[in-house]
Chains A and B, each alone.
Chain A
């Protein structure tokens, strides 16, 4: 029988550490993904995940269930990310993905359905998105992260960030519009580069 988050929280609060372990298994990947995409560095993301679960455990008795457990955990994570960025006084980093060399990729990739060329293109797009996101204002970036990668509703985001519903929609709209312009420009530049390469070779 799979218990809900709230049931596991109740058991963990009563002292059942195994229930808390189950919550960690369930939520560690999303929390890590949120921290990584917010901070841009694996090491920092690991630190935040560790601290977020520690704080969650310590604060379980204070969790009254007004919001979902996951929303509460996301909020703790975002606060820790903000603290980390303030501490280091920096914007998110853009970590260069490993293995951009085609030969390395050929060795490393295992999915038989994806060619090396596709894999290279996907990695490049991943890096481009990461760069474009890092340049967004924090509030737009956070709204997009929570919506796109964690599937929160507008209302859940508004509750979590403590802002009106319309503000969430505006942040999403503005953020997506900026991203769109940047990514389209990048695609145009790539197309022009390919054309120039082709012309010089012929």
Chain B
């Protein structure tokens, strides 16, 4: 049994039936090597419990309830069918909207974001271009983060340098006083940068939220179009 690691790991995680458990327990009585192995595995499992996850604010903001019925849901069925017919003709002529609708109906988890345009009465916020994708946002974020990290890194390096110089001078020295002033100036600069970073962070959260809502709205509209087309067929 000493070579049967599967059995030992099942025993350690208590994922074996009563018969297997009894078998391992009997073996352990006569095998100090396996006893040590089991004790070691249990100890490391205990150590793993120490790994904390930092507390965090909720990341996902609750979704708003779906908007009131769209204009086409409030018109008579015959008008809806006629509208769907128009959509079909547009699709046959190569309209991209129909293609996206059909694909979304076939596979709702499909990756690419459809580039459907907003109807005038439900225009999207101008600050978020319709063609903007989650990947665009992530890339923009990465660029910003890289820039901010570089900025912080540079300031931090200067602070460390000046502090090291101050320490090496020691005692009460006019040069030390000047250096300490410089350190304070750099700290102020660093704080300003931090504020800028926080502003960026808030803006990013806001863009993300709007982007989510916009995407979900697009999804809903596409699903609506797909069902219209199905009804028409």
Chain B neighbourhood of A42, CB < 8 A: 54, 56
Interface string of A33-71 (1 = CB under 8 A from B): 100110000110111011101110111111000000000
Is the CB of A97 closer than 8 A to any CB of chain B?
yes
B18 within 8 A of A: no
CA distance A21 to B212 in the complex (A): 14
Beta-carbon contact of A20 and B134 below 8 Å: no
* Chain B 1-33 interface residues, beta-carbon cutoff 8 Å to A: 5-6, 8-10, 13, 15
Measured in the bound complex, the distance between the Cα atoms of B181 and A65 in whole Å is 64
- For A78, the chain B residues whose CB sits under 8 A away are none
* A50 B15 Cβ-Cβ under 8 A: no
Q: Mark the stretch among A1-9, A164-172, A190-198 that contacts chain B.
A: A164-172
Tell me whether A188 is interfacial, beta carbon within 8 Å. Answer: no
Determine which of A49, A55, A147, A177 lies in contact with B59 in the assembled complex, contact meaning CB atoms within 8 Å. A49
A contact patch SS: helix
Q: How many residues of A contact B (CB 8 A)?
A: 56
B interface footprint on A175-190 (CB within 8 Å = 1, 0 otherwise): 0110110011000000
- What does the 1/0 interface line of A112-124 toward B look like (CB < 8 Å)? 0000000000110
> With A59-B109, A153-B15, A173-B5 as given contacts, are A36 and B54 in contact (CB-CB < 8 Å)?
yes
**Complexed CA–CA distance, A159 and B20 (Å):** 23
Query: Taking the complex as formed, is A125 at the interface, i.e. its CB lies under 8 A from any CB of chain B?
Result: yes
Report the separation of the CA atoms of residues A183 and B47 in the bound assembly, to the nearest whole angstrom. Answer: 8
Please judge, given known A-B contacts A49-B59, A50-B60, whether A97 and B52 are in contact too, CB under 8 Å: yes
Contact residue among B43, B58, B63, B109 (Cβ-Cβ distance under 8 Å from A17): B63
Known A-B contacts A18-B65, A58-B219, A172-B9; A125 and B47 likewise in contact (beta carbons under 8 Å)? yes
Which residues does chain B contribute within 8 Å of A133, judged by CB atoms?
51
Q: List 26 A-B contacts (CB under 8 A).
A: A17-B63, A17-B65, A24-B62, A32-B59, A37-B53, A43-B145, A47-B138, A51-B134, A58-B108, A58-B219, A60-B108, A61-B108, A98-B54, A122-B52, A129-B48, A129-B50, A133-B51, A148-B45, A154-B13, A154-B15, A169-B10, A172-B9, A172-B13, A173-B9, A176-B41, A176-B44
> Footprint of A on B, CB under 8 Å?
5-6, 8-10, 13, 15, 40-41, 43-45, 47-48, 50-54, 56, 58-60, 62-66, 107-109, 134, 138, 141, 145, 208, 212, 215-216, 219
